[in-house]
Each structure stands twice: as structure tokens, then as C-alpha cells.
Structure 1
Amino acid sequence: MAEYQTISSRAGARTAAIDEGLRAHMNKVYGIMSVGMVITAAAAWAVSGLAVVDGQLTQFGAAIYTSPLKWLIMFAPLIMVFAFGAAINRLSAGAAQVFFYAFAVMMGLSISSIFLIYTGMSIVQTFVATAAAFAGLSLYGYTTKKDLSGMGTFLMMGLIGIIIASIVNIFIGSSAVAFAISVLGVLIFAGLTAYDTQRIKSDYIQHAHAMDSEWLAKSAIMGALNLYLDFINLFMFLLSFMGQRE
């Protein structure tokens, strides 16, 4: 009986340690993601301020919005995401975090035109709506007992589909296609928010028995990147519905 109580006590202590570690891990994920969001917002606002003065495009604004450079700026974040995924195992945790913040700056540059297209109030309102939706979806992904892993394949297929459709629509400029992409984008990134949150939690629990600080730090950065991308894309697709044009 005493032996059973000892085993039970050890199991309970281990479970408590994992739960405490998981909470700390998730807090770090959300913390890194939040810093990335602040950097992106600051970069986008600063770039837009340099791009337009007194309602007119500056030389800098013309270079980034109307010259061929705009294509590099548009696709640079996508290229950086693929590069980050390929290099994460070779990077130190510190270098990975610097890369993430550099990516956040580039994303800010890439989306800075929203301050020229939409009113400031509608951007703020859309951000608040996105934050509320993201919080609810992420909380669902963290607390639900339902296994969301089966959604992953379909969501990734849908994501690849809207990326291809978005690139094609840059050249054909169809408003109907743009509307369909926005609707699908909101649904896909809503699903990915819940899915990615559960996956971050599951990965931590599965590796809890062989945890090392370097893996933990990199895992938190990758988790922050995934949730950051979910938030940004959800915001951008919602903005196409909720944003009031200048």
C-alpha cells in the first residue's frame, strides 16, 4: 500500500511539473508572438509615414509601392518563412529569435500599405476583432479534448490553394476571386489557430520526458511564428471585409 502511494505521489508530482512547464512554455510562445506583432505594427506604421507626406507618395514610397521592388517586398516574408523552416535545426535559439524578429520587420514593410488604403479607425477595429477571435480560437485549441490533428492536412491543402490563387489573382485582378479567397482565408486561418495551438501543446507534452533548454527555446520560437502567421493572415483577410477605404 505504501509502495502504491509512493508511485502515485511521484506520478502526481510529474504531472504537476509537466503542467507547470507547459504553462511556462505557452506563456513564452505568446510572449514572443506578441513582441513580433508589436514590431510588425511599428514597422508598418513607420514605413507608411515615410512613404506618404501630405497625401503624396515620396520617392521612398514610389520605390516600395510602384517600382519592381514591390514584388520583392511582397514575397520576401514567404521566402523567409521557408528559409527559417529549413535552417531552424542549424540555428541557435538566440539566432532563431533574431531571425523571427527580422521577419516581423519585413512583414511590417510588406503590409505597410494598409495604412494608405484603409482608415486608421477601421484598422484598429479589425485588429481588436481579430485579437478577440484569435484568443477564443487559441483557447479552444488549448482546452478541447477533441483531437484536431485530422484537420491539419485539409487546412494545409487549403492554405496552399489560397496562396496559389492569390498569386494568380495578382495578375487577373478578379474581385470575385478576391472575395472567395478572403472567405476561405478567414475559415482556414481560424482553423489553423486552434490546430496550431493544440499542436504546440501536444509537442511539449510528447517531449517532456527528454526536454532540453535548446529544444524548448526553439520550439517556443517556432510555435510563436506559427501563431503569429495565423494572427496576421486572419487580420488581413478580415480587414478586406471590415476595412473602410480612405
Structure 2
Amino acid sequence: MRKLRLHRDGRFEVAPGASFTLLDEYRRTIMPGMRLTYHLTDWFGIGAWGGYGFQYNTGLTDELQRVAIDARDCSNRSFTKECQLTRVNLTRGQLTEDQLAQIQWVAAPQLTFVPFRGKLALFAELFVDTDVNFFAGFAAIGVKERKVCTTNCANTFGLESRVAFAPTFGLGLNFYPSDFLGFGAEWRALPFAWNTSGFDNHGLGTDEAFPDNKVDDKDREFHFTSMVTVSLSVQFPTAIKTTE
């Protein structure tokens, strides 16, 4: 194709952005971060993505705190979801400080592939260069979980940090309104096992499917953690290449 504008070929991309986790049960994460990529060709690049997380509670967590802990109202409401969830290993203080897990940070080297590109027409008059990219890599995830407890777990609470490892992959849609500026959105998956609730979920029996009155690595459950990222990108050098 003649006079094709090569927004990626031989360029270094800096893309600050913000990520938002999806379908969280107890705590949602907002993660400011950045993606750095060097594009060896217009369709292939190598780089890294990462961010630091800030959390806020879901409605379920607020109800657990209000009904089962602050109000101590489970004696007459044992049938409710809040009380059933917290019958075992219920913290006596603050769920967010003593029991519920959170993602503190993520760092992920990754490869980027760009199989589709073209122009997007807006109102049949304004045309914007557009491409679709896929990426895959391996992520280190800073997780804060309920600390290991082997005895007296009904009265032992607190969080401790660890590093989990997981594959990461996803796809993005990118727009280029100028030669060196762009913006886009991407969906990312981070599938790994962690104990989001801090409860004694597993550990007893041949299949370890029943509570064992301990809180340890056996209580971690697999979650297909995913997030959406919106970003602004800047390409260097600022001059763009075109095909002949």
C-alpha cells in the first residue's frame, strides 16, 4: 500500500494510563501506570507495562463490615449472605485492614503484535489512523493477603505481602490523531490464585475442599483477574515514517 503511515515502525512509545479491575467481589483496584514499548517493526514490539494499585470497597464488603462486624447483628440474621460468609474466621476489626486481599502493584514484560490497522471514519468526514494490537507476557504481582495462621485463627488477623506470578495477555484498540500522539483502551487478563476473602476456604480432606481451621496457601482460589486500561501515548522520534 502506497503512502502508508507507519505509527510504530522504529519508534519508542511511552503510554501513561489508568487501569480498573473488573468483577471484583470484595475490593476494586484503580491502578495508575505506564506502558513502554520499542517497536522493531510496524507490527511487532517489545516492552513492559506496570502500575501501582489503590483500592476501594465493593458494596458486599461494606455490608459485611456493617452487619457482621460493626452491628454484631448475626444472632438473629444467620440466614443472610453477610452472616453466612463470615461465620468462620471473621475479623473483629476492619476487614480492609485485617483480612481482605488487595493488588499492590504489577510489573509485566510483554510482546506486542499488531495484525490490523487502517482508518476509522467519524461522521464520514474525519478520518483517524487506527490499529488493533494483541499482547502477551509474564507478570509479577504484588499481593497483600491475610497472613498465614495455623492456630487460634479465629482471633489472629492481619495482612502480609507476597509476590505472585501469572501470565498476562489481552488486546487493545488505538487511535492516532497526530503523528506522535495517540490514545487507546485495552483489556488485560491476569489469571492467578489468591485468597481474596481471607477466609479458611480449603485444606481438609483428600481433595482439600473443606475448611481445616487454618489460613495458608491451600485457601487460595483461582481468579481470572481482568482489567481495562485507558491511556495516552507519545511516540519518539516525533516524525512519522511512510511507505513509498
Q: TM-score, normalising length from structure 1?
A: 0.30
Report the structure, 1 or 2, having the larger strand content. Answer: 2
Q: TM-score, normalising length from structure 2?
A: 0.30
Report the structure, 1 or 2, having the larger helix content. Answer: 1
- Which one scores higher on RCO, CA 8 angstroms, separation ≥ 6? 1
Larger radius of gyration: 2
